[in-house]
A and B are shown apart, each in its own frame.
Chain A
Amino acid sequence: MTEHDSSEPPNDEALNEPLDADPSGDDLPAPTNADFLRMMEMYEADAAKARTAKAEAIARLSEAASDDEILADIGLDMTALRQEP
């Protein structure tokens, strides 16, 4: 008979305690820093406006382009502008 079944972790406090299921639930813990939160609030407001601004810029470019050749000539690929990489 073996003294100890070494295929299992030993009854050692450092190694055999049950694991915490999810001690902090911190896959991505929420920010707490007031300055960071404020910055992100401002940046997100800018980003929200940016989405509209982008759509408007594309619309105005399409409107202004009376000729596809001109668009190509100044290097604007409208399909690429509308797509995400």
Chain B
Amino acid sequence: MPDLSAERARIYAHEVSEFATAEANEVAVRLQYGARSIAVARFSELWPQHARNPQTRRALQAWYLYAFEQHLAEPVAGTVQTINGKQAGRALATVMEQTRVHHAVTVGVITALAQDARILARKTAVARGQLLEAALNARINRLFPLPKPADRQLRPAITAQWYARSFRAMIGPKVLDVPTAPVTPTEVDRVGSCLADNQARLLYQDGDPIGLPGERTWREYASWWWVNQRTQQRVRWLRIEGYGGPGREVEESKLAMTSFGRLPPYLQSRLMHQNPPTDLELNIGQPVASGTAAERAARMFDAEPRTPATDAEQGAERVIFARGGGAIPVRDMPDLAPVVNALRELQQNNQGGRQKVLGLAYTNRWWNDPRKLQQATEMRSAGVKARDIAAKLGISVGSMYYGLKTSGASSETLLNRRILDAQQGSGKRHNSSRAARTRRPRTGERQTEGRREGRD
């Protein structure tokens, strides 16, 4: 086994941590945009893109995405308001102007969309966390493969867990809303000495680092630092972090007066990162006694041991780590019914013009209702006139025909009035046929008429 000086091991530990942190920063951007794409797709499902009334659709889509983005921005914005009054008012005004639907119905739509966005954001957060863990396992297997001889596996196993620890320290507070203590130079030193000694020593226990300040101590330290700054210094710090600046003066001064605990999580994390406790004497943990190299390395950081990457985990790695990325799979999507019902009510109450809110008709075809379809088929088989069936079902004659044809449940016999009429022997039909023959054909009809007569 090659000798590794403590100094060199420390450099390796430092660079691996830097590399992992950089990857986490890249992944954070990808994850946020990926999550937003889920909301865009969700709205297209709620109200398909080819729907009419672009103004109403656009206003509601903007509102839906706004609400979803607000949840995504929680690490930076702090507490999320499910309904933003100003933005909701804007969407409300547009929809009411376009549809002239009563305020109560429109408010129902706005609320239903905001609730759906909230539930979707929650489910997306869970899906992102699971996908990330799967991807991370594949990632460490790719970057730090374990060599064949068992006695040479410990160092790679430690390096892999160290990468994962550094990655989580950045991605946790930034995207996953998991408070995680930042990596400190002291921790880097300790990992370096473990690598040099080829020893897995316990660095964490029950989620807290041994001898290093835990999450709580760290927060207290950062909080103390924040409290001891003058307001002007805090404002300056907020500006450096890209939080303040022109046009944000009110928010900036409000934040500068806020206690550490009420700051947005991202800002808390930045403060902790920049103000690590330095006045604690650090102990070195006991060596981990038993288990495989992967198990001992995991125990060092109080983490799960790595396992060989599955195909699914490798797929997750490509989604998360490749620049092109991919879609984040969200299982168990929120129930569509509350929003669809609210949108249908909007559609039914629409008075802004006959074409205003009709896009939803595509998701609400009458023949998708088995009861109605059966009713129409039975009536048509019994020889009931098309217009009577249509009136009974509350649809147009054209829609009745189209529905029977499209559903595939009916034969041509049911659709062809001439055959039915012949079976019934009604006199009126001759009149209508005569009228059709004597009526002056519209443009483009002559040829068709001729073909039909020839066929007859």
Contact = CB atoms under 8 A, between A and B. Distances in A.
Interface of A: 1-4, 6-17, 19-20, 22-24, 26-29, 31-33, 35-36, 38-47, 49-51, 53-54, 56-58, 60-61, 64, 67, 69-70, 72-77, 80-81, 84-85
A17 B321 CA distance: 44
Of the four ranges (under 10, 10 to 19, 20 to 34, 35 or more), the interface on chain B belongs to: 35 or more
Interface of B: 1-2, 4, 8-9, 11-12, 15-16, 18-19, 21-26, 28-29, 32-33, 36-37, 40, 44, 49-54, 57-58, 61-62, 65-66, 69-70, 72-73, 75-77, 138-139, 142-147, 152, 155-160, 174, 195, 241-243, 266, 314, 317-318, 321-323, 354-355, 358, 361, 386, 395-402, 404-405, 415-418, 433, 436, 452, 456
Question: 9 tightest CB-CB pairs across the interface, nearest first?
Answer: A10-B398, A75-B156, A23-B54, A14-B361, A36-B69, A6-B405, A35-B77, A33-B69, A50-B22
B21 to A, nearest CB: 7
B28 A47 contact: yes
B152 A73 contact: yes
Contacts of B318: 85
Contacts of B22: 49-51, 53-54, 57
Contacts of A22: 49
What is the interface of chain B mostly: helix, strand, loop, or mixed? helix
A77 B144 contact: yes
27 contacts: A1-B433, A2-B415, A3-B416, A4-B386, A6-B405, A14-B399, A15-B402, A20-B52, A23-B53, A26-B61, A32-B62, A32-B66, A35-B73, A36-B73, A38-B77, A38-B242, A40-B33, A54-B26, A57-B15, A57-B16, A64-B15, A75-B157, A75-B158, A80-B145, A84-B321, A84-B323, A85-B321
Contact of B29 (A10, A47, A60): A47
Contacts of A74: 4, 9, 12, 155-156, 159, 195
A81 B66 CA distance: 37
B4 A12 contact: no
A49 to B, nearest CB: 7
Contacts of A45: 242
A13 B354 contact: yes
A1 B399 contact: no
B398 A11 contact: yes
B146 A13 contact: no
Contacts of A12: 395-396, 398-399, 402
B355 to A, nearest CB: 6
A39 B318 CA distance: 24
Given A7-B405, A39-B73, A43-B32, A2 B65 contact: no
